Structure 1
């Protein structure tokens, strides 16, 4: 992977242009969609380049990776966003290190986060992950459980619930992908009608499908390879 600064800055410019173009085609303002760089598996020097380009939020899938990278970037103002499936026994580290969790999908995890956040005397932005795809490999709350789940979160003062997150079905059929995103938007609108006005964010869309997500109302896209280049999973 060519991770020189010019290459990264060039990919960032292209990505921002694609996001802006998708917004215009959807009849939305150019700045309506935020970019969350997904830095999982990419080494610290690449992240340092991204930070130099003004990308201060980084999405990670694993708590251990956040721990390791935070130790190396302790002198930089990185905002770590947990986007991967989170086990309750890792809530202590996330309460200490993360600025946001986008994969909240069960009450036991919410309670564990709240408990450790109280100890840390801080709060955390969270998104509720919703399962809009039939694939067994995808995590998330059943959409029908959302109203009751949102109600149960009201008593946890350390959690600022600001939106919903989903991963679309892995399919070549754009209509199947769009249906996942449309489902999340419809449930967001329903929650607002039920009195959860703070639930505005829709984190949906990744490198391969973010234009479709923007057409369906995404407010933030999670992009890794289209920004940083191909991943090396070895």
Structure 2
């Protein structure tokens, strides 16, 4: 099992490098951070990934992340990538290095308030719902500028960039226009004069579409199944 996880992890890294070489818009030499998504996989599997080189792990559920953090601790950088409810913010802010899924001003305010309580500046990404899918949360394109301005005015947040999820198309090539548009939006946001921000992260792409996401400019991808195999429910 350990060898399988190690081999899969290295395979994903190799595919990321190959995808970078195929870029047409984004610089080919921009580094891509691989977040190993450990949802529904135990800490033994996590440790195998860490031994293979994983330094960033992503969790969808705060409760699951909290219990794993108790075992793994600060050996890795912790990413919260799933929808975050305001009643879970207090727990999340205690250990999260980067929260990807800030999908509303209301949530951002709750995170800032909790971060202030423990004297922390919390790094966040704002989630964009570019396809306007009802099944996904996120800020619409037309509301993004206003939301970013309000979010970056909050005292205990540091905006690091944007996150998005493409629809789960059967033909993965259908994701490409959305990822390309998202990269253009990311470039626009980098040019804004926003306080309390360090815009250097575009998180997009998962197991089924991360290669296309990297080709179109993603510099952070969230990959679970391609590393750990099918989830154990």
Between the aligned partners of 1:228 and 1:64, the Cα distance in structure 2 is 20
Counterpart position of 1:99: 97
SS for the counterpart of 2:199 is coil
TM-score (structure 1 length as normaliser):
0.91
What residue in structure 1 maps to residue 9 of structure 2? 12
Distance (whole Å) between structure 1 residues aligned to residue 66 and residue 172 of structure 2: 37
Runs of 4+ residues over 4 Å off in structure 1 = none
Deviation at 1:13, TM superposition (A): 1.4
Contact 1:20 1:31 in 2 (8 A): no
Please point out which of 64, 86, 89 is paired with 2:87. Answer: 89
| Count of matched residue pairs | 229
SS in 2 for 1:136: coil
- Describe the superposition over 1:7-31 as per-residue Cα deviations: whole angstroms up to 9, x where unpaired: 1111111111111111112164356
> Shift in Å at residue 194 of structure 1?
3.0
Corresponding position of 1:35: 34
Unaligned runs of 5+ in 1: none
Alignment of 1:1-234 (within 5 A): 4-26=1-23, 28-29=27-28, 32-74=31-73, 77-196=75-194, 198-233=198-233
1:118-156, CA deviations, whole angstroms, 9 ceiling, x for partnerless residues? Answer: 111111211100002243211111111111011112222
Contact 2:30 2:219 in 1 (8 A): no
Contact residue 59 and residue 222 of structure 1 kept, 8 A: yes
Q: What runs of 5+ residues in structure 2 fail to find an aligned partner?
A: none
**Is 52-61 or 205-214 further displaced after alignment?**
52-61
1:70-109 deviation line (CA, Å, top 9, x unaligned)? 12224x5232210000011111011111111000011111
CA RMSD of aligned residues (A): 1.7
Structure 1 pair 134/109, CA: closer, same or farther in 2 (3 Å)?
Answer: closer
Q: Distance in 2 between matches of 1:210 and 1:121?
A: 35
TM (normalized to structure 2)?
A: 0.92
For 1:183 and 1:107, locate their aligned partners in 2 and report how far apart those are by CA, in whole Å. Answer: 23
The whole-number CA distance in structure 1 between the counterparts of 2:30 and 2:180 is 20
